[in-house]
Amino acid sequence: MRTSSNHRFGRPTLDHVESIADDLGFALSADERAAYRELAVGAIEGLEPVARTPSFDPGLEPDRLDGRERGYRPRNDDPLNAWITRCRVEGAKSGPLAGVTVGVKDSIAVAGYEMTAGSRVLEGFVPKIDATVVSRLLDDGATIAGKLNMESFACSGRGDLSDFGAVANPHDHDRLPGGSSSGSGAAPANGDCDAALGTDQAGSVRIPSSWCGIVGLKPTYGLVPATGVLPLELSLDHVGPMAPSVERVARLLESIAGLDAVDGIPLDQRQSPSIGADSYVDAIGSDVDGLSIAVLEEGFGWESSEPAVDDAVRDAAATFEEFGVDCESVSVPLHRDGVSAWAAIATQGMSRLLDDGGVGTNHTGWAWTRLARRLQSVLESRTDELPPAMKRTRIVAAFLEEAYGAEPYAMGRNVGLALRRAYDEVLREYDALLLPTTITRAFERTETFDLVEALTREVTTIHNTCPFNVTGHPALSVPCAKPDGLPVGAMLVGSQFEESTLLSLAAAFERETTWEDR
């Protein structure tokens, strides 16, 4: 029921109470129905002050919007279809990011510009707020160049399931860029902007970084605040930087990382009060001689793995050894079960969060009420327009919920804890893990669309990436080779909050190699 303009919630009728009781499995007599209606009316009356009391202002609305030029949908000036909205929002006149143009995935709020999340059902939703990561970029001098195309509701790893059309891979326009941050991979790789922000719930920063040949970092869970970002699953959500160079990724991370709090009040429940940013730019010049890398054997040789990918990443390990990094093979058998753990969490978690308007319950952070209202409207009137991957998720989640309640989610969470322990045991002895980011190179674009084949095939894109969303470890994709003209990404994974180590290793690799010639 909607809150009316005079801040009065609706009241249930006896028919409402009877219908709700039947749905919940309560057998009520006529007298009990009347009694519970009276109790419900009293309880709802007690809620009304919350609808008219001024709520906490997190300060996310910028002071002025009149200086922001009107955005537009690009046409002939966007050959890759990487952008949904082009604009120019100037940041501070000076700062560490002065002169750097940044594209923002279209699930991240920029005040005054439409946020679609790649879906027609959100067209016309114009946030009044800047996401915290956006305001931090602007404060450090960056210029926001526009909102980047993405898979509808971030529900694909391929790059051709946006309601605004497929994005092309800049290395081969007949191939896909990866997703769900498809435009965030394609645009900086093509030189359309200097860097980009993406979001990553299963690999959505790292997959397009791998396929487009750029650097992409999924930070440690909670290091970068997600305030003002469309959530998909609160325990899996990450926001991360993407750029053609390690140095630029480090600069963006240094800008956007750290505790998001107002007057000492945390806005993002993912963050602990002790979270802070390191000097990531300084780290990229660090000497890596004497560091150690564990080459994770279970990341290679999947049924769908391309030999060219496996060979390129093993060659990368050999290159690390050439400049003083000790590389040894290790086994973490549970890595292969990470996809299953992720699927259990994502399936029920994503569906429940959508039902909850993207706000969810049982957390203490700031709640984006305007987004919640819009998502509720979508579920009431346009649910059939949700993308195929989301429909699959909701069908499976509904079945699991009916048959098993929340147990599959709980099982996935517990496997995730075991998986974290397994990775941590290795990372106590080594400085990083190394494995292919994606087990294949960029998929070919196709106009034919077989639903089962398409949604089954895309699962291969997340085999190596999604386990680290479950465990929260930082993971960075760095381009390591380009066999037959298609980039391959090598993924470095570190201990919690050890982004500096990953950046230093990636920067050393970048300095010592010409990956496009490999």
Domain that holds residue 32: 14-52
Say what the pLDDT of residue 450 is. 76
CA atoms within 13 A on the CB side of 458: 28
Domain contains 344? yes
Domain contains 9? no
Say what the pLDDT of residue 59 is. 87
Which pLDDT tens digit goes with each residue over 464-482?
A: 999 999 999 999 999 999 9
In contact, 260 and 224? CB cutoff 8 Å: no
* Distance of alpha carbon 46 from the chain centroid: 38
Tell me the β-bridge partners of 488. 481
Count of the separate structural domains present in the chain: 2
Q: Do residues 205 and 321 share a domain?
A: yes
Looking at beta carbons, which pairs linking 50-58 to residues 24 or more positions away fall under 8 Å? Answer: 51/3, 51/7, 51/8, 51/9, 52/7, 55/369, 56/265, 56/366, 58/227, 58/262, 58/267, 58/366
Distances (CA, A) of 168 to 60, 212, 333, 368, 466: 34, 10, 36, 33, 23
Which pLDDT tens digit goes with each residue over 64-84?
A: 777 788 999 998 899 999 999
Region 405-419: mean pLDDT is 96
Residue 19 annotated as catalytic:
no
Nearest to 83 by CA among 164, 9, 173: 164
Query: Taking 90 as the threshold, does the pLDDT of residue 186 lie above it?
Result: yes
Which pLDDT tens digit goes with each residue over 153-167?
A: 999 999 999 999 999
Neighbours of 488 (CB within 10 A): 30
d(CA 227, CA 358): 12
d(CA 21, CA 16): 8
Region 205-232: mean pLDDT is 98
Say what the pLDDT of residue 517 is. 67
Say what the pLDDT of residue 50 is. 79
Going by DSSP bridges, is the β-strand pair 195-199/239-243 parallel, antiparallel, or unpaired? antiparallel
Distinct helix (H) and strand (E) counts, the chain: 16, 13
Q: Do residues 359 and 410 share a domain?
A: yes
Q: Do residues 405 and 474 share a domain?
A: yes
Confidence grade of residue 207 (pLDDT, cut at 50, 70, 90): very high
Q: Do residues 136 and 32 share a domain?
A: no
Domain contains 224? yes
Domain contains 475? yes
pTM: 0.93
Neighbours of 140 (CB within 10 A): 20
Confidence grade of residue 363 (pLDDT, cut at 50, 70, 90): confident
Say what the pLDDT of residue 8 is. 65
In contact, 218 and 468? CB cutoff 8 Å: yes
The DSSP H or E segment spanning 84 is strand 83-89
Region 2-25: mean pLDDT is 76
Which pLDDT tens digit goes with each residue over 322-354?
A: 999 999 999 999 999 999 999 999 999 999 999
d(CA 158, CA 454): 9
Percentage of the chain lying above the pLDDT 70 cut:
97
Neighbours of 278 (CB within 10 A): 18
Confidence grade of residue 449 (pLDDT, cut at 50, 70, 90): low
Region 416-429: mean pLDDT is 98
**Cis peptide upstream of residue 180 (ω within 30 degrees of 0):** yes
Q: Do residues 30 and 131 share a domain?
A: no
Q: Which of 107, 180, 184, 245 is catalytic?
A: 180
Confidence grade of residue 413 (pLDDT, cut at 50, 70, 90): very high
Confidence grade of residue 414 (pLDDT, cut at 50, 70, 90): very high
The DSSP H or E segment spanning 237 is none
Domain contains 78? no
d(CA 90, CA 382): 36
Distances (CA, A) of 312 to 166, 181, 431, 475, 505: 28, 24, 21, 18, 17
d(CA 341, CA 407): 12
Q: Is 485 exposed, middle or buried (0-12, 13-18, 19+ CB in 10 A)?
A: exposed
d(CA 337, CA 62): 44
Of 363 and 297, more confident: 297
Nearest to 467 by CA among 206, 156, 256, 155: 206
Q: Do residues 26 and 126 share a domain?
A: no
Q: In what order do the strands lie in the sheet with 488-493?
A: 83-89, 143-148, 101-105, 195-199, 239-243, 215-218, 475-481, 488-493, 432-436, 292-296, 326-330
Q: Do residues 416 and 497 share a domain?
A: yes
Buried-state track 307-342, b at ≥16 Cβ within 10 A, e below 16:
eebbebbbbbbebbeeeebebeebebebbebbbebb
The DSSP H or E segment spanning 296 is strand 292-296
Q: Do residues 180 and 117 share a domain?
A: yes
The DSSP H or E segment spanning 157 is none
Q: Do residues 140 and 25 share a domain?
A: no
Average pLDDT, the chain: 93
Query: Taking 90 as the threshold, does the pLDDT of residue 9 lie above it?
Result: no
* Distance of alpha carbon 186 from the chain centroid: 16
Nearest to 332 by CA among 298, 294, 303: 298
The DSSP H or E segment spanning 139 is helix 132-139
Domain contains 72? no
Domain contains 165? yes
d(CA 159, CA 42): 50
d(CA 161, CA 477): 23
Nearest to 183 by CA among 210, 212, 203: 212
Q: Do residues 388 and 466 share a domain?
A: yes
Which pLDDT tens digit goes with each residue over 98-142?
A: 999 999 999 999 999 999 999 999 999 999 999 999 999 999 999
Residue 180 annotated as catalytic:
yes
d(CA 405, CA 408): 8
Domain contains 405? yes
Say what the pLDDT of residue 497 is. 97
* Residue 57: φ, ψ to 5°: -100, 110
Say what the pLDDT of residue 518 is. 67
Q: Do residues 287 and 357 share a domain?
A: yes
d(CA 313, CA 309): 6
The DSSP H or E segment spanning 308 is helix 307-322
Say what the pLDDT of residue 6 is. 46
CATH number for the domain spanning 490: value is 3.90.1300.10
Q: Do residues 40 and 94 share a domain?
A: no
In contact, 489 and 479? CB cutoff 8 Å: yes
Q: Which of 204, 255, 500, 504 is catalytic?
A: 204
Which pLDDT tens digit goes with each residue over 366-399?
A: 999 999 999 999 999 999 999 988 999 999 999 9
Going by DSSP bridges, is the β-strand pair 101-105/195-199 parallel, antiparallel, or unpaired? parallel
d(CA 441, CA 175): 10
Confidence grade of residue 47 (pLDDT, cut at 50, 70, 90): confident
